[in-house]
């Protein structure tokens, strides 16, 4: 073989090897589409998405969303992502139905589409990831009270409105599992209408009506803050524990004062991590979204899908004195 042929042959091999390396180096591009940019909860979810990308390797996360929480804004974002030919879209939807045509277009182009946090109608996605489930939430809100009442005691519920669908479901689920918590006695359920002043008055009324009250369970971010303030103002820190569902940024003071020993809400970091991992597994055909099936979520295990191809990530995440500082500036 001549020297020229050897050089040409070597160059050809180099091109082949380089093209192969380039192909392998192409990341799976996953768009994490949020309701709006500049929201702490979703910025925390983006941190989880980046954690998943680093863990998996070969994944590029595109964190994006509109500037306001509108369906129109998200549709523009989706169309842009279709033009960019991303591999997957994981979206927290501003509208259940309005996004469907754009997302169907994405799926028609071979893009994996899932929703998370806030769902899309079934025809517009391959699966939906709920942060938790009604039974898990119902169990958690009473468990948080019972964990600090080893001998049981009287507890009361401070809800939002009498017609609040999710609140009523969570309370029903709580009542179903009360028998699992020895000595826990629910003496009343009152409604603060998700108004801070009314919730405060209702919590104050509970402590006056039930002098042996040991805990107030408020499965509402407005009610739990108001109840904690009512307990502090009544001088009953250490006597009445306020718990339920709340935001770390709003409940940090109550944890620090002792008005609340712990509360729960979904962990947005885990949520972003799970959504990204699921999207990757579906986009690379390592898993399939089918009713009754399961999809790996990395360190979070598997999500099991129901007949609507919806699944719950995990129990609500518990916040207390050990971790509140790490989350209070996030959301």
- Among 250, 265, 280, which residue terminates a domain? 265
Together in a domain, 284 and 213: no
Instruction: Look up residue 313 and give its two tokens.
Output: 């990530």
Together in a domain, 301 and 220: no
Together in a domain, 90 and 212: no
Confidence of residue 220 (pLDDT cuts 50, 70, 90): very high
Quick one: pLDDT at residue 46? 97
Is residue 15 scored above 90 in pLDDT?
Answer: no
| Alpha carbons 195 and 165: distance in angstroms, whole number | 17
Is residue 234 scored above 80 in pLDDT?
Answer: yes
Quick one: pLDDT at residue 28? 98
Of 1-15, 234-248, 268-282, minimum mean pLDDT range: 1-15
List all residues 6 or more positions away from 190 whose beta carbon is below 8 Å from its beta carbon: 156, 157, 158, 159, 202, 205, 206
Quick one: pLDDT at residue 302? 96
Together in a domain, 157 and 211: yes
Together in a domain, 231 and 280: no
Query: How confident is the prediction for the chain on average, in pLDDT?
Result: 92
More confident residue, 316 or 20: 316
- Mean pLDDT, residues 221-249: 97
Quick one: pLDDT at residue 12? 40
Confidence of residue 6 (pLDDT cuts 50, 70, 90): very low
Together in a domain, 54 and 176: no
- Mean pLDDT, residues 240-244: 98
On whether residue 328 sits in a domain, the answer given is no
Is residue 293 scored above 80 in pLDDT?
Answer: yes
Together in a domain, 206 and 286: no
What proportion of the chain, given as a percentage, has pLDDT over 70? 92
CA distances, 239 to each of 141, 229, 231, 232, 246 (Å): 18, 14, 9, 10, 20
Together in a domain, 144 and 224: yes
| Ranges assigned E (strand) in 104-196 | 112-116, 127-130, 153-159, 184-191
What proportion of the chain, given as a percentage, has pLDDT over 90? 87
| Alpha carbons 154 and 149: distance in angstroms, whole number | 10
Quick one: pLDDT at residue 198? 97
Instruction: At 125, give phi and psi (nearest 5°).
Output: -160, 165
- Mean pLDDT, residues 9-13: 39
Q: pLDDT by residue (tens digit) across 247-290?
A: 999 999 999 999 999 999 999 999 999 999 999 999 999 999 99
CATH of the domain at 103: 3.40.50.2300
| Alpha carbons 216 and 188: distance in angstroms, whole number | 10
Say how many domains are in the chain.
2
pTM of the model: 0.80
Together in a domain, 231 and 193: yes
More confident residue, 14 or 76: 76
Together in a domain, 230 and 285: no
Domain that residue 50 falls in = 24-131+267-313
Which of 45, 25, 26, 24 has the alpha carbon at shortest distance from 34? 45
Is residue 7 scored above 70 in pLDDT?
Answer: no
Together in a domain, 146 and 237: yes
Together in a domain, 258 and 272: no
Instruction: Look up residue 27 and give its two tokens.
Output: 């990341």
Confidence of residue 208 (pLDDT cuts 50, 70, 90): very high
- Mean pLDDT, residues 165-173: 92
Quick one: pLDDT at residue 41? 87
């Amino acid at each position: 073989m001549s020297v020229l042929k050897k050089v040409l042959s070597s160059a050809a091999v180099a091109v082949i090897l380089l093209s192969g390396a380039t192909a392998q180096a192409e990341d799976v591009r996953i768009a994490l589409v949020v309701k709006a940019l500049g929201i702490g909860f979703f910025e925390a979810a983006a941190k989880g998405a980046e954690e998943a990308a680093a863990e998996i390797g070969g994944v590029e996360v595109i964190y994006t969303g509109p500037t306001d929480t509108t369906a129109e804004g998200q549709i523009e974002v989706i169309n842009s992502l279709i033009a960019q030919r991303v591999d997957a879209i994981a979206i927290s939807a501003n509208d259940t139905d309005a996004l469907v045509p754009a997302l169907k277009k994405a799926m028609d182009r071979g893009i994996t589409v899932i929703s998370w946090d806030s769902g899309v109608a079934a025809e517009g996605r391959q699966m939906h990831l709920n942060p938790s489930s009604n039974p898990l939430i119902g169990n958690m809100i009473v468990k948080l009270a019972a964990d600090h009442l080893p001998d049981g005691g009287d507890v009361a519920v401070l809800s939002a409105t009498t017609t609040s669908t999710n609140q009523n479901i969570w309370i029903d689920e709580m009542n179903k599992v009360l028998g699992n918590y020895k000595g826990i006695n629910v003496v009343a359920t009152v409604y603060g209408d998700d108004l801070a002043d009314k919730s405060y008055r209702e919590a104050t009324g509970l402590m006056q009506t039930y002098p042996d009250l040991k805990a107030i369970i408020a499965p509402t971010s407005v009610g739990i803050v108001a109840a904690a303030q009512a307990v502090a103002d009544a001088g009953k820190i250490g006597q009445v524990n306020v718990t339920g569902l709340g935001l770390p940024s709003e409940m940090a003071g109550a944890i620090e004062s002792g008005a609340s020993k712990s509360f729960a809400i979904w962990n947005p970091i885990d949520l972003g991590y799970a959504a990204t991992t699921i999207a990757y597994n579906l986009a690379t055909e390592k898993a399939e979204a089918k009713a009754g099936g399961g999809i790996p979520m990395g360190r979070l295990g598997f999500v099991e899908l129901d007949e609507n191809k919806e699944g719950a990530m995990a129990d609500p995440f518990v916040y207390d004195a050990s971790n509140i500082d790490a989350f209070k500036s996030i959301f």
